[in-house]
Amino acid sequence: MNVTPADRRRLEAIVADRGAPQIKHEFKRRAAIEPVIGHLKEHHRMGRNYLAHASGDAINAVLAAAGYNFRRLLAWLRFLLLRILIVLSLPTELKSV
């Protein structure tokens, strides 16, 4: 959904008049998701879909999300391995402290 500046002003006027918290929530949610979508498009080959039809769109999105989550998992495992190696390399006097 592309929100034009005119649409945004109209929705903000509705929010100001009625105080619709759901619209505010939707704007905040979209603002939180957009950086992730930009990252997926740039680093996970979602800028161009090479698969055909609607099922290809769905497959492309699922594979990109899986790659994104796998990269996060690898970063977490790398961090965990580093912590384990640091603990194992400490002298025994420091381990008891």
Residue-level pLDDT at 95: 59
Residue-level pLDDT at 57: 84
Q: Which domain covers residue 68, as residue numbers?
A: 5-95
What is the rounded distance in angstroms from the CA atom of residue 56 to the CA atom of residue 47?
A: 14
Strand ranges in 1-97 using DSSP code E only, listed in sequence order: none
Region at 67 (left for phi over 0; alpha for psi -120 to 50; beta for the rest): alpha
Please list the pLDDT of the chain residue by residue as tens digits (97 residues). 566 777 777 777 776 665 567 777 777 877 887 887 787 778 777 777 888 888 888 888 888 888 889 999 999 999 999 999 998 887 766 656 5
Question: What sign for the dihedral angle of Cα 11, 17, 23, 27?
Answer: positive
Residue-level pLDDT at 97: 56
Residue-level pLDDT at 63: 86
What is the rounded distance in angstroms from the CA atom of residue 7 to the CA atom of residue 66?
A: 33
- Contact present, 6 and 14 (Cβ < 8 Å): no
Please tell me whether residue 54 adopts helix, strand or coil conformation: helix
Residue-level pLDDT at 75: 96
Residue-level pLDDT at 82: 94
What is the rounded distance in angstroms from the CA atom of residue 90 to the CA atom of residue 15?
A: 58
State how many domains the chain has.
1
